A and B are shown apart, each in its own frame.
Chain A
Amino acid sequence: MEWLSNLFGSYWPAVEITGWTLIKIIAIVAPLMGAVAYLTLAERKVIGYMQVRIGPNRVGYFGLLQPLADGIKLLFKEVILPTASNKALFLLGPVLAIAPAFAAWAVVPFDMNMVLADIDAGLLYILAMTSVAVYGVIIAGWASNSKYAFLGSLRSAAQIVSYEIAMGFALVGVLMCANSLNLGKIVMGQSGGLLHWYFLPLFPLFIVYFISAVAETNRAPFDVAEGESEIVAGFHVEYSGMAFAVFFLAEYANMILVSMLAALMFLGGWLSPVSFIPDSFLWLLAKVGFLLFLFLWFRATFPRYRYDQIMRLGWKVFIPITIVWIVFVGGMMQTPWAHLFH
């Protein structure tokens, strides 16, 4: 440490802060990538068992090395740039898809004080980052210069913008209860056991949030942006090799992110449901794992929504529900039962 600080001289404080931040970022991103890799395996296994199949079981014991094999395969595949595509934007698309998916993790708390950037407007920041993620899909679809990709990106743009509103309104309820935009404070506002978690007073908002989250991440049954049976995989139809894999990583990283947010804001984050077991990061992992399982379960269970029904659900069902419930919560906070909503 001493010689390092001599080496950089007066720049040492800046270098030290940057270095530590980089180490923390790696400590978040590396396990996240691992989780993404094994989420793909979990998805194939879970859906396999739900459809009375076995799923991947050849590479490694119980198929445990399958994600590695997939990764290596994708790395060595050629990235084909279609001749008629817009090269610069074609390559920018996957980057814009994955960058916000990772950037949003900067404000996610994993435990008491275990957060990269403990900023005051954390919730707002996450909403902004997830709303920027749509550019990856739009730009990829346009730059590919392909009808299918373009249709996929148009569907996706309209869908994500619609569901973002419902999602944002659902979170307004949370910050009314928590009186804060800081994710750590939102979790601490739910302390006191299972009955104090926000999913109880905000139950309709919780349901709306989670379904909107499925729609936001373009997952089945809202995966019309891909729609492999109609528009042959949609916006990423022209992508191959690692460029395709980056979209894939972004989708799964986003799934983990929205599950994490649901766990933090509605299910008490790292707080224990009962007082005699201590709070722990493991609780958060368990909650996120359960929500991720729901994602996979949905995919194995529901047929794809028709597009006009998706729009109807977003605009005519979810948004009115959230507005009514926000007014209801606001009204209840003026009554003697206000403590139930804090």
Chain B
Amino acid sequence: MTFFGLHFQDLVFYTLAIILLMAGLRVITTRNPVYAALYLVLAFFTAAGIWLLLEAEFLAITLVLVYVGAVMVLFLFVVMMLDINLDRLREGFWKALPIALPVGGLMAVEMVMIVGVRNFGVDKVAAPAKHPAGYSNTAELGRVLYTDYLLAFELASVVLLVAIVAAIALTLRERRESKSMDPAKQVLVKKADRLRIVKMKAEVEKIVVSDTDAAADVKESK
């Protein structure tokens, strides 16, 4: 079935690809950093759509879950709190351009050389095989990850663990002056820790019956 001379899948692909490219472009051209972050979210989302077309549903959904749902939320969290002066952000543009342009150009040339048609053309890379309906992407991925690539997987997890420990160690400052509470102590507190019950006889106020007026006079004369 064709729409406007295109197969439906191609139509979806081109739509997503156009949105993805536009969003990617806006990430670097938009002036407001919050907009840039939101365009990046859009880019991730459309990239997930393209991965779905490739039948990589696990990766696509994980992209949304991890990058859109967690990483970009924290990005936005930080970017929103920044007090950014847009003019000052633009100040260094022309000064940095003579260096930035060759570097950027070089990177683009390198990428074209590697990812170009010569190595990744349609004739070089076979189209992914169509899988039957019951095929589970997730299970396959798990099997490969824990058999063929076990060592690489374990290494990656160790690297991540080191990164976590380092990030915490770098930002952890013990502040002696701040008073913090210990919830365990709060929970374990008993009545006896806070309250002392003293056994004593009831105190009875002594009633002065005689000579009240004289006493008042003495007070006044003082």
Contact = CB atoms under 8 A, between A and B. Distances in A.
Interface string A138-168: 1100100000001001100110110010000
A132 B8 contact: no
Nearest to A153: B80
Nearest to A129: B64
A51 to B, nearest CB: 28
A161 B76 contact: no
Contacts of A11: 1
Interface stretch (B65-73, B101-109, B203-211): B65-73
Contact of B70 (A89, A119, A121, A161): A161
Chain B facing A: main interface SS = helix
A128 B64 contact: yes
B70 A309 contact: no
B1 A14 contact: yes
Nearest to A131: B69
A157 B137 contact: no
Contact of A150 (B64, B65, B80): B80
Nearest to A313: B183
Interface residues of B, number: 24
Contacts of B73: 131, 134-135, 138, 157, 160-161
A310 to B, nearest CB: 12
A286 interface: no
Chain A facing B: main interface SS = helix
Contact of B74 (A121, A128, A132, A161): A161
B81 interface: yes
A127 interface: yes
Given A138-B80, A150-B80, A121 B8 contact: no
Interface string B153-193: 00000000000000000000000000000010000000000
B58 interface: yes
B1 A138 contact: no
A5 to B, nearest CB: 14
B65 A121 contact: no
Interface in A10-34: 10-11, 13-14
A14 B8 contact: yes
Chain A interface category by residue count:
20 to 34
Residue with the greatest number of chain A CB neighbours at <10 A, chosen from B34, B69, B77, B137 = B69
Nearest to B8: A14
Contacts of B74: 157, 161
A87 interface: no
Interface string B46-76: 0000000000011001101100111001101
Contacts of B61: 121, 124-125, 128
A181 interface: yes
A121 B57 contact: yes
A309 B137 contact: no
B138 interface: yes
B57 to A, nearest CB: 5
A169 to B, nearest CB: 13
Given A121-B138, A309-B183, A157 B77 contact: yes
19 contacts: A11-B1, A13-B1, A89-B38, A120-B137, A121-B138, A124-B58, A124-B61, A128-B69, A131-B70, A132-B69, A138-B73, A138-B76, A138-B77, A139-B38, A154-B80, A157-B73, A157-B74, A157-B77, A181-B138
Interface of B: 1, 8, 34, 38, 41, 57-58, 61-62, 64-65, 68-70, 73-74, 76-77, 80-81, 136-138, 183
Interface of A: 10-11, 13-14, 89, 119-121, 124-125, 127-128, 131-132, 134-135, 138-139, 142, 150, 153-154, 157-158, 160-161, 164, 181, 309, 312
